[in-house]
A and B are shown apart, each in its own frame.
Chain A
Amino acid sequence: MEKKKIKMPYGITGDKISEVEREVPMNEPEGWPVNAELKHVGKRVKRLDAQAKVTGAAQYTSDIQLPGLLVGKMLLAAHPSAEIRAIDTSKAESLRGVYGIHMMQNEEGEEYPKVRYAGQPIVAVAATSEAIAEEAVAMIKVDYNTMPFVVDVEKAMDPEAPIVYEAPVEQTASEGGEEIESGLQLKGNVRGPNVGKPRGELEPGFASADVVLENTYRTQVQTHNALESHGMIVDWKPDGVTIYASTQGTQGVRNEFADLFELPRSKVRVVVEFMGGGFGAKHGLGTHGVAAGHLAKKTGRPVKMMATRKEEQISQGNRPNSIQYLKVGVKKNGELTAIEQKSHGTAGVGLGAGVGGVAQTMYTCPNFRTEQYDVFTHAGPGAAWRAPGAVQGIFGLEQILDELAEKIGMDPLALRDKVDPSKVRKVGRKVGAERFAWSRRKPAGSGTGVVKKGIGVAQSSWWRIHSTNATAEVKIFKDGAIEVRSGVQDIGTGTKTILAQVVAEELGITPEEIMVRIGDTLFPDAPGSGGSQVTASITPAARNAAYQVKRKLFDMVADQLEIDASELKAENGQVISTKDASKKMTFREALASMPVSQVSATESRTKEYAGEYLHWDLGSVQFVELNVDTETGMIKIDKVTAAHSCGRPINITQLESQINGGIIQGISYALYEDRILDRNTGHMVNHTLDTYKVPYAMDIPEIDIALMEDYNAKSSTDAYGIGEPSNIATAAAIANAVYNAIGVRIREIPITPAKVLAALGKA
């Protein structure tokens, strides 16, 4: 393939930025300079659909009404483990207003689903109203043969525990970034181990250490709890199916639906203009999408199935818990000599309960072993949850690092300087420490008085994930309209706006002039919002499509200006010669002069440009300041300072919104949230929003964000996501700060007042 050489910025703001040459395909645009030299990219552009959101005009899946719409409701399993002998739906069927009933199926050929957790969807009913559907569900009689069950992860590991699955099971990972290894062995309820990529030898590693520490860290099950619940409307017409879905992956839903119902993908259209939060749990068709599909097919009417809040909490996904054993050796000079990790976690009846790759990849250490096990329990399935695995893994790793630093008498930041190869985290530590005033840190537990202040730090790492199956179309119209089209969805991160910014930058116009149409599989395919891949995948595609459509436009107008198309550029709303500034016309005049009414170009994400990365991962450093009341055990977070990298930042305000959110979810994880299953009944006891604790306005600290521009010259936008990275370090930083405050380490979250008092010997 013919290639050309372009120059691109390479380096980190706050450190140094140089220029690097990349060999790229001929149809790639020229390299952009750093953000300071750009007009719309890297700026605080207002969210394009903000007005729709503040006026209530934004229509979410849950808001959509269709003519003849039926509403579906689920019957939920009353027991955590059972075989169903019989289900009598006769009364429900004869209720006025009931149009269809669908029996949920786990495995091919079964008459009734095997019940593996309390609240498992069993039967779906479609009726003319929600109330009638609820009434019908209440009329269904289920004859259960109840069986022993286990909901506690440690009890489930006992070889004598009730078994969840008789035979080994496999599960495909979603686009959410969770790791699921195939082909692992199942012993009782314990599946694994996933051993990652071991290196070196542990024993000589530990033998060469001056200090070896081993500890166990525990994290809880956390539900996603998005405001809009899971759900879909399936409108099955003879010529094709339209699905309105609260989803974070349009093409994933389409493909799954087409496969399930044996339809060509061209006959399935998935639409999501606005969606009310996903955080990893809304990939794929889900129980409600499957049921709505069957019911729409049976009844010939559109069917809407939205999960109730209770279902949302029980059956629609959660972050698996973890019990992590870590043993780490360190020399007096801070060099790590060996890391041994062993983890168990439960994703209920699902998989994906590992603790990720952070212990394996983040720090320089020659000897490493991990064994990560999934433990099946009679509980609702886990799902990807914003940085799956890494959030749990960092909670252990970043604490033991602090514990080692204290043992060898090093400052936590100094130890990280020693063992962390990431250039961007190095800048982050420096910038963050200055803004946060890290130097005021006092020895652990040295404060006097009832309320003790503590400060702590933790770091994180996330992969640079992108998909080359990401396509965007840019259309220019004779009347001046400019449109971007892609199947990609905006789950609240601001994807629409960043597409407009990138295209505006390339065409020399403003983002507000651009109509962005996304969230519809009629448009070209793009990846799901998972693993922080969307920005990295779709912005280069959109920029390249804009570049191509611009070249087509230049070819059309060059003759009128009596110059060669190659000397034209587009900037400030003009098409202008680079050699003779008098040769120009406005962008609108150029469009008006097109011989056809519209011109379009469609481009896909090219693979990462060849050449070195500055550092392989996306890094962050978060600092936390908090107060611990030693009489009540209450923790109050005062301030979080967060230094983050996501390649080239596209929209500063939207990135800050996401980072705020990641941190607040991290605070929630560290201090409040905990899914509680009753060990005697297997039912979730805190599925309502008033009993499942999350932070509200009064609990929100000051958040100070240092966004680092981190140029690696890897694509035409060089941009990456921030969704996952912003959520990883917070809980560990809080745990480290709590230790700094009270001088006692709490290795289990949520760090509730009861745990604080117990740690202080006051319980």
Chain B
Amino acid sequence: MENNEKLTKKGTSRRGFLKGAGLTTAGTIVLQTGVLGKDGKKTEESKTVGPDPVTIEMKVNGKVRSLAVEPRSTLAEALRDKLQLTGTKVVCDRGSCSACTVWIDKSPVNACMTFAMDVGDREVTTVEGLAVDGQLHPIQEAFIDHDAMQCGYCTPGMIMSTAHLLEENPNPTLEDVKHATRGNYCRCGTYPHVFQATLAAAKKIK
């Protein structure tokens, strides 16, 4: 039941929504505050917001933040422009490079493909929130040790993908690492060191 509710709250995907609206400058959004009852009637009223900014609360890196976002804002835009969390990078802006990977309730998502307003009460973790009390996450340490970066622009996304892998699978194989980073685009071609770093971090955590 809890899972179903979460799924509903995820709402419309950005791509789907924009396709429907036909414009990238979509102005308003229907805010679904409730779920449909068994008889198909809405259990609560929906209300229309936008195009002006709406103040929402969002739990980011352990703290609840209040921010004013236009309903059309993506999570990536909200993080970067409103919360100054610029570690989350926007490269392709269409879900094909994973540079904007953040976690929503510990699951990696493309922040460029998620509406800020669709986050709801779920928790967002960005690359800035991975270190705890100034102590780097083992994957961050390993990226430093193995030089798993060049220009560094894909690094936050790589970190979020590989850190998530280690949360799910403490004993990854090389193939597992490749699979976990299969959507992360790196033009500098740093992949071999990302693979090494992730395998080394897994060993270290053990």
Spell out A's residues near B (CB within 8 Å): 46-47, 49-60, 62-63, 65, 131, 134-135, 138, 224-228, 274-277, 279, 309, 491-494, 653-654, 656-658, 660-665, 688-690, 694, 696-698, 700, 703
CB closest residue in chain B, given A703 = B192
Residues on A with beta carbons closer than 8 Å to the beta carbon of B128: 55-57
Residues on B with beta carbons closer than 8 Å to the beta carbon of A53: 143, 149, 152, 155
Instruction: Find out whether the CB atom of B147 lies under 8 angstroms from the CB atom of A50.
Output: yes
Instruction: Find out whether the CB atom of B144 lies under 8 angstroms from the CB atom of A50.
Output: yes
Residues on B with beta carbons closer than 8 Å to the beta carbon of A227: 89, 91, 97, 99, 151, 153-154, 185-187
Task: Write the nearest CB–CB distance from A665 to chain B, whole angstroms.
Answer: 6
Question: A46-B147, A47-B149, A51-B144 are known contacts. Are A65 and B84 too (CB-CB below 8 A)?
Answer: yes
CB closest residue in chain B, given A663 = B189
Instruction: Find out whether the CB atom of B140 lies under 8 angstroms from the CB atom of A54.
Output: yes
Instruction: Find out whether the CB atom of B159 lies under 8 angstroms from the CB atom of A664.
Output: no
Residues on B with beta carbons closer than 8 Å to the beta carbon of A52: 152
Q: How far is it, in angstroms, between the C-alpha of A138 and the C-alpha of B97 when the chains are bound? A: 27
Instruction: Find out whether the CB atom of A55 lies under 8 angstroms from the CB atom of B136.
Output: yes
Task: Write the nearest CB–CB distance from A355 to chain B, whole angstroms.
Answer: 23
Residues on A with beta carbons closer than 8 Å to the beta carbon of B153: 60, 226-228, 276-277
Chain B CB within 10 A, most for which of A65, A277, A491, A653: A277
Instruction: Find out whether the CB atom of A700 lies under 8 angstroms from the CB atom of B178.
Output: yes
Residues on A with beta carbons closer than 8 Å to the beta carbon of B164: none
CB closest residue in chain A, given B141 = A54
B25 at the interface (CB under 8 A from A): yes
**Majority secondary structure, B binding face:** loop
In the complex, the 5 A-B pairs of residues with the closest C-beta atoms, listed nearest first? A56-B87, A492-B151, A664-B189, A276-B153, A661-B189
CB < 8 Å A-B pair total: 171
Chain B CB within 10 A, most for which of A274, A492, A696: A696
Residues on A with beta carbons closer than 8 Å to the beta carbon of B81: 65
CB closest residue in chain B, given A278 = B151
Task: Write the nearest CB–CB distance from A169 to chain B, whole angstroms.
Answer: 30
Residues on A with beta carbons closer than 8 Å to the beta carbon of B159: 54
Residues on A with beta carbons closer than 8 Å to the beta carbon of B193: 656-657, 660
Residues on B with beta carbons closer than 8 Å to the beta carbon of A657: 147, 149-150, 188, 190, 193
Task: Write the nearest CB–CB distance from A101 to chain B, whole angstroms.
Answer: 19
Instruction: Find out whether the CB atom of B70 lies under 8 angstroms from the CB atom of A55.
Output: no
Q: How far is it, in angstroms, between the C-alpha of A224 and the C-alpha of B191 when the chains are bound? A: 18
Residues on A with beta carbons closer than 8 Å to the beta carbon of B186: 227
Contact of A654 (CB < 8 Å), options: B88, B147, B191, B195: B147
Instruction: Find out whether the CB atom of B152 lies under 8 angstroms from the CB atom of A276.
Output: yes
Q: How far is it, in angstroms, between the C-alpha of A277 and the C-alpha of B131 when the chains are bound? A: 26
Q: How far is it, in angstroms, between the C-alpha of A60 and the C-alpha of B151 when the chains are bound? A: 10
Contact of A688 (CB < 8 Å), options: B92, B146, B152, B188: B92
CB closest residue in chain A, given B98 = A696
Task: Write the nearest CB–CB distance from A730 to chain B, whole angstroms.
Answer: 11
Question: A50-B149, A689-B97, A690-B94 are known contacts. Are A56 and B182 too (CB-CB below 8 A)?
Answer: no
CB closest residue in chain B, given A653 = B147
Contact of A309 (CB < 8 Å), options: B24, B91, B126: B91
Instruction: Find out whether the CB atom of B144 lies under 8 angstroms from the CB atom of A63.
Output: no
Q: How far is it, in angstroms, between the C-alpha of A663 and the C-alpha of B193 when the chains are bound? A: 14
Residues on B with beta carbons closer than 8 Å to the beta carbon of A60: 86, 89, 153
Q: How far is it, in angstroms, between the C-alpha of A309 and the C-alpha of B93 when the chains are bound? A: 8
Given A53-B152, A657-B193, A689-B92, 6 more A-B residue pairs with CB atoms under 8 Å apart are A50-B147, A276-B153, A277-B187, A279-B187, A660-B189, A665-B187
Residues on B with beta carbons closer than 8 Å to the beta carbon of A700: 178, 191-192, 195
Residues on B with beta carbons closer than 8 Å to the beta carbon of A703: 192
Instruction: Find out whether the CB atom of B191 lies under 8 angstroms from the CB atom of A63.
Output: no
Instruction: Find out whether the CB atom of B190 lies under 8 angstroms from the CB atom of A55.
Output: no
Task: Write the nearest CB–CB distance from B92 to chain A, whole angstroms.
Answer: 4
Task: Write the nearest CB–CB distance from A125 to chain B, whole angstroms.
Answer: 14
Residues on A with beta carbons closer than 8 Å to the beta carbon of B195: 697, 700
Residues on A with beta carbons closer than 8 Å to the beta carbon of B147: 46-47, 50, 494, 653-654, 656-657
Q: List 17 A-B contacts (CB under 8 A).
A: A53-B152, A54-B127, A55-B128, A56-B87, A56-B126, A58-B87, A60-B89, A225-B187, A227-B91, A276-B89, A277-B151, A660-B189, A661-B188, A661-B190, A664-B191, A665-B189, A690-B94
